[in-house]
Structures are given as structure tokens and as C-alpha cells.
Chains A and B, each alone.
Chain A
Amino acid sequence: MRKRVVGEAGWSHSAIAGAVGFIYFFPVLFIILTAFRNRMDTLATPPKWFFSPTFENFYHIFYRSSSTTSEYISTGFHMYFFNSIYISGMSVILALIIGTLAAYGFSRHPLKGNETYLFIILTTRMLPPIIVIIPIFLIFRLTGLAGSYTGIIMMYTCFNLPFSIWMMKSFFDELNTEIEDAARMDGASERSVFFGICIPQVKAGLAATSVFALILTWNEFLFALLLTNKTTRTMPNAMARTIGGEINVDYGLLAAMICLFLIPIFFVTYALQNQLLRGVTFGTIKK
């Protein structure tokens, strides 16, 4: 394998790549800068590039001045933050566990009409969510799941399952089954073949699947809007509430919220990036 030297592409290519990269990153950068501006600087035209940074936006996310008294009261945002982490985390873990087991089954012990089942699983993702949201809302209200953690976690797990089954199946399909046979001959049980042989080989797939599923869930708005209540509300909804119904939008506050919103995803992606790169390029490299 040829070792790639950093910067090998040369200055001109690097400069073009840098320019393109900057164009992509600019909106995010602008949001991050806005989060540290005070209200005056935020609304300045042309935008103020040099300003004295302030943390007041971040403070206001969690505490807001009351309209009746001069005291600062909690906005409950820390709870929404926790809700987002808990709900998307749980649903991704569940979807990953169920999806991986299902994918292994579909890959190693195909049913009669295996492809049909896989197709049916995928059809659940073919409808736009807005079509199914009304019956789901009614079902949730009838069963009492509306507004509960269980309900929204179940919803998101179902939402992530087709994707994780299909993705993990392709990873299992790519494995050399001889290794599993060798393990069986060495006396491994079916359970240890799965956990000891297959799972370590699809780590990259698990990482890629979990990051993609996490991003989908983390950003999801519609289901969360209708199926959560005040105590189970997630970040995207909490952010939306700062826009709607007010006389003017506090862009600084919103930008600060977005900054906080980005942090968990950023860390997860960063922690898994090595696995992730291998995951998304899986199958494109000669074994």
C-alpha cells in the first residue's frame, strides 16, 4: 500500500480545496460567531467581524428574565438537551441492536422470500413522515404513549430500523464466511461466532450506521413536535419555539442554541471518525 504524504497534492489543489471547504463551512462559522455577539452586533449590517465576544446568549438559553419580576428564571433548556441525548441515544442503541441481529439473520439464515421481506422493511421509509403522522398521533393518544419517552423512543427506533438493517446486512454480506466456519470447527458456539467473529469485523459498519442514525434522529423535528410534551420535548422543537410566535427573532440566542446542538454530534463523529471512514468506503477497496 502506498503511503500518502500530507500535502502531497500541492499548493494549488490545496488552495482550491480550502476555498471550497470555506464556502461550505461559512454558514456554520457565521452561526458560531453570531452566538458570541451581543444583540446590537448581531443585527448590524454589514455584519461586524470584529467584536468583543459575550456569553450572554448562552446564559439566556438556560435563564431568561421574567416579564413580571426582575429575577432570572430557568427555561428548562437543560432538560430538552438531556431529552435529545437520551431519546436519540436510546433509539439509536435499540435500532442498532435489533438491526444488527436482524441483518445477521437476513444475511446468514435467509428466509424463503428474503428479498421480499427486506423490501417490505424498506417500504416503511418510502412514505413521507407527514403522511403517517396523523394515524400515529391517534394511535399514540389512544395507547397513552403520546408525550412519553417510551413512545418517542419506540417511534425513532422504528424510524431507524430499516436503515440500520439494510446497512448492517451489506456489511455482514461482505464478510468472508469461511472465518465463521473455521470458528465453528474450532468449537465456537453460534453465539460466540456472532459476538466473537462477526461483530468485531463489522465495527466500522456499526460506527457508520450509528452516526448516520444518530444524525437523523438528532435533527428530527416533525415526530418530536407532535409526539412529545413539555417534559419530553427535544432540542429541535425547543429551538423552533424561540422563533415562532414572538415579535422578533433573537438570532443570537438561536445561534447559541445551534452551537450547543452541534457539540454532541461533533464529538460522536470525531470519536468514530476512523471507523466511519472505513465504514463509508466499505466494499470499495479490494480485499
Chain B
Amino acid sequence: MSTLELQNLTKQYGALTAVNNASLKVNSDEVLCLLGPSGCGKTTTLRMIAGLEFATSGDIFINNNNVNNKNTRQRNIAMAFQFYALYPSLSVSENLANPLYAENISSEIIKRKIGEIAEILQLKNILKRKPHQLAEGEKQRVAVGRAIIRDPECFLFDEPLSRLDVQLRETMRGQIKEVLSDLKKATVIVTHDQLEALTMATKIAVMRDGLIEQISSPHNIFAKPQNIFVAGFIGTPQMNLISAQFIKKENNICQFNIFGQNINIKFAQNYELDPNVSYTMGIRPRSFEFNVQQNTETFSGTIELIENMGAEILLHVKNDKNTLRAVTSRTNNLRIGNKIHLAPKINQTHIFNADGKVL
């Protein structure tokens, strides 16, 4: 069992707060993804966990032991770096063995461990090569191998797949996930790629400007975003965020003024809404029914642009000054200039208050 816990972790560089009061907990066999745009403090958080940077305030616990004042090595953490950080003058097998040298392990065991890792990560044929002779994918596997060869308390991965091409990324994503599920250690992965986070993580922490905006399971992050930022950040194409004026409510059917149209939307739960507050409505582009008939539950607009996405098409639907994005199957025979009517699917509409928090 290994756990990792951060309590009110803050890092300041002069006047800049890189990480602001971050608190989270990762249990063994959990994979937490720190997800966020560039410069949001996710790598700084990871480096603080690793002991490569010291926190301005707050506590880090590994297995319930406070490690604030322990150095990198004493924390017994393994980390795979974004640029792989392989020792340029050492061969692959020496690179793999390096973390073990410090532990005074006999060369027999080191050799056996290298063999095991090489087996798992398919490195057998390149053990004698130097890092500069390796392809990107191979370097990446060596970096992962070097992280998992020890038996650390937890694993940290900094943008592990960012330098690989799309196909290789998909393969490696699967491989890393498989390896991690076997290791059953608390793992933190930093990424800016939401697909990576959604597929690899058991828990996602979305960060912005040093703040953790939401921590939840990948499904919840996608289906129940806590605020406008998470709603807009997760999901491609991006969620439609439209300002909406509440008019009246009958049972669970609320009437809003959106795009100058009065639209009835049915909710599963009973929201307390105030006509004097300006709300923001979030609807994912895939959460629309394509109705042929205009009625009180549809947005109406003209198709302004069609983007091809393979099996699907992304429509930009314009109404007066506002534009909505909607995704539909390419079998729908739609043309630019067509007038269409869209109805939000039941229970797939999110309402955010003036502070950007979900209702």
C-alpha cells in the first residue's frame, strides 16, 4: 500500500503563485492525472512531490509520513521526465541500472531486473545502444523502464507521451496503462492532453492558474464539470457556453431566453433559478437532437461552416450574432446555408451561475 497526499501545497516565485493551495490524495492503484493548460502549475506540483522543488507552504505525505524536509532520494519516488532525461553517455542497460546502483544491489539481481524490464517494455534488442541511437518511442520506453525498475513508493510521469507521434502515443498509452495497473502504486501523471488523461487516469485533477478546479473520475469530469473552466477545457469539440436569461419555470421545465429565442428545457432535477441572475448554459456539441420541426424546445439557426471530422461532421450554426457548435453523423445530408433546428438532449445541459459554478 502506498498513498500520496498533498495538503494546501503552495509554491510562490516572488509575486507569482505557481501552485495555490493544492490538496489531493492518491491511493495505491490509483492513477491521478494533473490536467491543465501550459503554465497552470501542474509540472511545478509534480516537481514538489518529487522533491526537486520545495514548497512555499503546505505538506506532502507519502504513506502518511510527512516528507516536506526530505530530499528527492529519501522520498523514494520514481519519475519519468518529459524529455526522457536519459544519461547520454550510458547505454540503455546502464541507464536502466542506474537507479539500482545507489541501492547497493548485487550485479546478479540488477542483471535479472534489467531482463525483466526489457521483457515488459520490449527493449531487448536495444539494451546496448546509446540514447542518441534510439527512436523517440524507444527513448520513451527506456525512460518508463528506468522509473519502474526500482520499487518506489509512487510514480510520477511528466508529459510522458507529448513527444510521440499520434499512432505511437496510442500504443504507448495502452502499454503504460497496463504496466501501471500491474504495479499498483500511487501514480501521478502530468499532461495537457485531455484524451491522455481521460484514458489513463482513474482520477483527474484539472488545474488552472495554480488552482485545482476539480478532482473527480474521468467520467465525472466529463459529465459533471463543476465550473465553466472545466466544462470548456474538457471535451472536443469544446462545449457550447451560451449566456441564458431565465424566464419562468413550470415543474421541471424551465424557459430561458437564449439567442433571443425563448426555449423550454427539461431538467431531471429541480433548480432554483432567479430571473435577475445571468446564467451560462453549457451544452456539448454531441448533446443535440437534430429536429426537423421547429418547436419550443429547439434552437434555430443557419449552417455557416461544416468541419469534417471523419465519421462525424462539426456544424457551426449561426443565429443572429451567436454561433453554436453541433456534431452529427456525416450521413445527415446537410449543406452550408441550410436552416436547422437543434434540441438539447435531456439531462445533458449544464447551468452555471454568474460565478461560473455549476448549479
Structural contact, B73 and A184, CB atoms closer than 8 A: yes
Other-chain contact of A182, B47, B81, B101, B102 (Cβ < 8 Å): B81
Interface residues of A in 180-226 (CB under 8 A from B): 181-188, 197, 200-201
Distance in Å: Cβ of A188 to nearest Cβ of chain B: 7
Structural contact, A197 and B52, CB atoms closer than 8 A: no
Interface residues of B in 40-95 (CB under 8 A from A): 47, 50, 52, 71-73, 77-79, 81-89
Structural contact, B85 and A200, CB atoms closer than 8 A: no
Chain A residues near B82 (CB-CB < 8 A): 178
Structural contact, A178 and B102, CB atoms closer than 8 A: no
Chain B, residue nearest A177 (CB): B85
Chain B 8-52 per-residue mask, 1 if CB under 8 angstroms from chain A, else 0: 000000000000000000000000000000000000000100101
Structural contact, A179 and B52, CB atoms closer than 8 A: no
Chain B, residue nearest A176 (CB): B83
Total interface residues on B, CB under 8 Å, equals: 24
SS class of chain B's interface: helix, strand, loop or mixed? loop
Interface residues of B in 218-267 (CB under 8 A from A): none
Query: In the complex, A187→B103 CA distance in Å?
Result: 8
Total interface residues on A, CB under 8 Å, equals: 14
**Which of B77, B82, B89, B103 has its CB near the most chain A CB atoms (within 10 A)?**
B89
Other-chain contact of B102, A187, A197, A200 (Cβ < 8 Å): A187
Structural contact, B87 and A185, CB atoms closer than 8 A: no
Query: In the complex, A179→B71 CA distance in Å?
Result: 17
Distance in Å: Cβ of A193 to nearest Cβ of chain B: 11
Other-chain contact of B85, A176, A187, A188 (Cβ < 8 Å): A176
Structural contact, B102 and A186, CB atoms closer than 8 A: yes
Chain B, residue nearest A186 (CB): B99
Structural contact, A181 and B85, CB atoms closer than 8 A: yes
Chain A residues near B78 (CB-CB < 8 A): 185
Q: Say yes or no: is B214 at the interface (Cβ < 8 Å to chain A).
A: no
Task: Indicate whether A178 sits within 8 Å of B85 (C-beta atoms), given known contacts A185-B50, A187-B73.
Answer: yes
Distance in Å: Cβ of B6 to nearest Cβ of chain A: 18
Query: In the complex, A201→B90 CA distance in Å?
Result: 11
Chain B residues near A200 (CB-CB < 8 A): 88-89
Chain A, residue nearest B77 (CB): A185
Q: Say yes or no: is B328 at the interface (Cβ < 8 Å to chain A).
A: no
Chain A 42-62 per-residue mask, 1 if CB under 8 angstroms from chain B, else 0: 000000000000000000000
Chain A, residue nearest B143 (CB): A182
Query: In the complex, A226→B89 CA distance in Å?
Result: 46
Structural contact, A182 and B79, CB atoms closer than 8 A: yes
B contact residues vs A (CB 8 Å cutoff)? 47, 50, 52, 71-73, 77-79, 81-89, 98-99, 101-103, 146
Listed A/B pairs (17) with beta-carbon separation below 8 Å: A178-B81, A178-B82, A178-B83, A178-B84, A179-B85, A181-B47, A181-B52, A182-B81, A185-B78, A185-B79, A185-B99, A186-B73, A186-B102, A186-B146, A187-B73, A187-B103, A201-B89
Q: Please name 18 further chain A to chain B contacts, defined as beta carbons within 8 Å, in addition to the given A185-B73, A186-B146, sorted by A numbering.
A: A176-B83, A178-B81, A179-B85, A179-B86, A181-B52, A181-B72, A181-B79, A181-B81, A182-B146, A184-B52, A184-B71, A185-B72, A185-B77, A185-B79, A187-B73, A187-B101, A188-B102, A201-B88
